[in-house]
């Protein structure tokens, strides 16, 4: 935050600073306006995205089915281990195995059960269709979202659109690296304008670069 005199008054003017060069400060309004112009140039090829959607969902469903099969096999294994535990406890009760051997066997069985359960404890059902619809909404409405977003949301949006950071010169935003998904779905006629038609765009180091929007 910079403080500049204005007709005898002290006013606050917010700035962003470059994380790679602390001497470069850019007025908040200037940088955000340039970033908005960059976002407004993003034109998503909806037909291509629709085709890609089918491929993603089909692949996701296939992987989900594979995981479900693995989970069912693991749950069956757990049931077997629990039965083995009951048998071991019963043998200990009847003194057919000594207490130390029985305890060691129970520890092994419990450890294997816990290991299997840990593989699936954080698994959750994901509605890939809803996720994809949300992604399409974000990509197709990025500019409108940016206009009303707070700083936190802008930082998250910037992380999606320019995840590797960007160069800023002459009021233009140039990503350090083309975002893979955005490049796939970007209409061909705008690729040269946005990224020079290349996957890896590396401007001269003398151009100030800004990794993240931080004030």
pLDDT tens for each residue of 149-207: 888 888 888 888 888 888 887 888 888 877 766 777 766 555 454 544 444 333 333 33
Write down the mean pLDDT value for the chain: 77
2 domain residue, yes or no:
no
187 domain residue, yes or no:
no
CA–CA distance, 5 with 9 (Å, rounded to integer)? 6
Which residue segment(s) compose the domain that 73 sits in?
Answer: 62-127
| Region at 43 (left for phi over 0; alpha for psi -120 to 50; beta for the rest) | beta
| CA angle centred on 32, ends 16 and 192, rounded to 5° | 115
Is the pLDDT confidence value at 15 over 90?
no
194 domain residue, yes or no:
no
94 domain residue, yes or no:
yes
User: How does DSSP assign 106-143, residue by residue?
Assistant: HHHHHHHHHHHHHHHTT-----HHHHHHHHHHHHHSHH
113 domain residue, yes or no:
yes
Neighbours of 112 (CB within 10 A): 14
176 near 167, Cβ under 8 Å?
A: yes
Best mean pLDDT range from 36-50, 94-108, 112-126: 94-108
pLDDT, residue 110, reads: 94
72 domain residue, yes or no:
yes
| 3 state DSSP class of 203 | coil
Split at pLDDT 50, 70, 90, the class of 215 is: very low
Is the pLDDT confidence value at 6 over 80?
no
CA–CA distance, 98 with 106 (Å, rounded to integer)? 12
List, in order, residues 6 or more apart from 143 with CB less than 8 Å away. Answer: 36, 39, 40, 42
115 domain residue, yes or no:
yes
pLDDT, residue 132, reads: 82
100 domain residue, yes or no:
yes
Number of domains in the chain: 1
pLDDT, residue 212, reads: 44
118 backbone dihedrals φ, ψ, rounded to 5°: -65, -25
């Amino acid at each position: 935050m910079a403080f500049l005199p204005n007709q005898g008054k002290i006013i606050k003017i917010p700035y962003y600073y470059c994380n790679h060069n602390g001497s470069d400060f850019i007025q908040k309004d200037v940088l955000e306006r340039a970033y908005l112009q960059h976002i407004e140039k993003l034109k998503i090829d909806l037909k291509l995205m629709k085709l890609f959607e089918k491929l993603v969902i089909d692949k996701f469903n296939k992987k989900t089915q594979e995981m479900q099969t693995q989970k069912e096999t693991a749950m069956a294994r757990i049931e077997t281990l629990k039965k083995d535990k009951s048998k071991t406890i019963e043998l200990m009760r009847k003194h057919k195995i000594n207490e130390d051997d029985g305890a060691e066997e129970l520890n092994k069985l419990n450890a294997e059960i816990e290991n299997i359960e840990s593989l699936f404890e954080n698994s959750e059902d994901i509605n890939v269709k809803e996720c994809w619809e949300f992604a399409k909404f974000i990509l197709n409405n990025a500019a409108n979202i940016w206009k009303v977003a707070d700083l936190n949301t802008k930082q998250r949006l910037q992380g999606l659109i320019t995840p590797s950071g960007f160069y800023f010169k002459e009021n233009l935003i140039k990503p350090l690296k083309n975002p893979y998904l955005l490049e796939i779905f970007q209409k061909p006629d705008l690729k040269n304008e946005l990224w020079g038609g290349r996957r890896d765009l590396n401007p001269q180091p003398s151009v100030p670069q800004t990794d993240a929007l931080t004030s």
